[in-house]
Structure 1
Amino acid sequence: MSTQLSPRSKRHRSRKAEFKHQLIVFRLRQEWFALPIQAAQKVIPLGDIYGGGAGAEMGLTLHHGREIPVLDIQQRIFGTGGGTASGTVSQPLLPPSKPSSPEPAEGMTDPLLPERFLLIVQTASETTIGFPLDSQPMLRRVSESAFAPLSAAYLNEGQLRCVRCLIISGPDEPPFFLLNLDQLLQVKPMLPEPRNP
């Protein structure tokens, strides 16, 4: 004898069976981006960045005596640093290191400067690299069905680079762009490619 399930039970069972991906989600300019949680090692407050002046794509910071390269992902994703979609200028992405000056008293922070964070990720080659973020990232669980491919036209001509797909988690929530970590970390050639005659 077979047992019939009510429509409500069937929906509950199908929801339970759907695999959920864990993502670390963060906002850059006016868009939301995500990376698989497996890529993230930790999130720390952003300290001083050295060796990366204005417009630099790469700098480095120190965390517990360890050197961590810092990549300006906004410049990689949007193609330029410092601007916003509305045309206004945001704070420098890789601010120059501070000259020697008295440190504020413990527990005192400058209320005019927003707190920034460093998302530390580990690459497939076991290299550690940091991404500066203007706000604290969040963890999200997203179902497999929320992932939607981006059209070839958008991937070729869109304003965002290094994105893999779109994540639409709900009708009242903005979509997230899943970043392609390999493209994000791809080293740009220093010299132009030779032309074929």
Structure 2
Amino acid sequence: MPVTSSLRSQRLSSLDHDTAHQYVAFRLRLAWFMLPIKSIYRVLPLDKHIPQLTLSGSNVPILDLGKILFGKVQSANFPRLTVNGAVVASKPSLLVVRGQSHLTDTEGLVGILSNSQPALQKITDNQMVPLPPTYSQQWKVDFINLMTLPSQDRPSLFMIDSDRLISSIPQCK
């Protein structure tokens, strides 16, 4: 009996490394980014204008990370994200994000403008790799440190660390 239980525990421990976590993927200009689903406070579709957000009497800062990372982009040629065989629509939205250390309160919120509808993605830890130096030198931000490699139905997704993003904004501290 001990032999089978140790084999079972070895098999189960090997499965723990490949567990998938849910992320919300969204497009910022030319690239796709992702956030853990736990850090998403709310998603608002945008029609014609960007709303002013207030929670608990204070304004929530709204960032155009696409503009910060890429500047003005003329080309409409961007990689497409496919979820269950369907291409994610290019409808703008506003993602209200909270830091992982602020999961129970409304402080530490920031709005991120997105060029697409958000899409849920299941990604395992072994699908993520450290951000290559070429990206970190080009973007000059410290809140993106991991990425996924592109696959047949998914372009590279760049992981945004919500705590680092929020700590880099003076109004959110």
Gaps of 5+ in 1: 4-10, 51-59, 89-113, 189-197
Q: Distance in 2 between matches of 1:151 and 1:76?
A: 19
Shift of 1:15: 5.8
Q: Distance in 1 between matches of 2:91 and 2:151?
A: 29
- 1:27 is the counterpart of 2:16: no
Task: Give 1:157-196 correspondences, 5 Å limit.
Answer: 158-159=138-139, 161=141, 162-168=143-149, 170-185=151-166, 186-187=168-169
Shift of 1:183: 4.0
Give the residue type in structure 1 aligned to 2:32: W
Q: Distance in 2 between matches of 1:115 and 1:151?
A: 30
- 1:70 is the counterpart of 2:62: yes
Comparing both chains, which one has the higher relative contact order based on Cα–Cα distances under 8 Å and sequence gaps of 6 or more? 2
Shift of 1:116: 2.4
Q: Distance in 2 between matches of 1:138 and 1:149?
A: 22
For the structure 1 residues 129 and 117, does the alpha-carbon distance in structure 2 shift closer, same or farther, using more than 3 Å as the test? same
Maintained 8 Å contact 1:49/1:61: no
Give the residue type in structure 2 aligned to 1:147: M
Q: Give the share of equivalent positions with the same residue, in percent.
A: 30
Q: Distance in 1 between matches of 2:28 and 2:162?
A: 16
Q: TM-score, normalised by structure 2?
A: 0.63
Q: Distance in 2 between matches of 1:172 and 1:49?
A: 31
Gaps of 5+ in 2: 5-10, 78-89
Shift of 1:115: 4.3
**Correspondence for 1:128:** 109
**Correspondence for 2:75:** 86
For the structure 1 residues 15 and 141, does the alpha-carbon distance in structure 2 shift closer, same or farther, using more than 3 Å as the test? same
Shift of 1:160: 6.8
For the structure 1 residues 147 and 66, does the alpha-carbon distance in structure 2 shift closer, same or farther, using more than 3 Å as the test? same
For the structure 1 residues 170 and 35, does the alpha-carbon distance in structure 2 shift closer, same or farther, using more than 3 Å as the test? same
Maintained 8 Å contact 1:117/1:133: yes
Give the residue type in structure 2 aligned to 1:41: Y
Q: TM-score, normalised by structure 1?
A: 0.57
Maintained 8 Å contact 2:42/2:95: yes
Q: Distance in 1 between matches of 2:32 and 2:139?
A: 14
Q: Distance in 1 between matches of 2:116 and 2:135?
A: 27
Q: Greater CA radius of gyration, 1 or 2?
A: 1
Maintained 8 Å contact 1:76/1:184: no
Q: Distance in 2 between matches of 1:153 and 1:134?
A: 24
Task: Give 1:99-138 correspondences, 5 Å limit.
Answer: 115-123=91-99, 124-125=101-102, 126-138=107-119
Shift of 1:46: 2.7
Q: Distance in 1 between matches of 2:46 and 2:60?
A: 11
For the structure 1 residues 121 and 145, does the alpha-carbon distance in structure 2 shift closer, same or farther, using more than 3 Å as the test? same
3-state SS of 1:121 partner: strand
Q: Distance in 2 between matches of 1:87 and 1:168?
A: 22
Shift of 1:75: 2.6
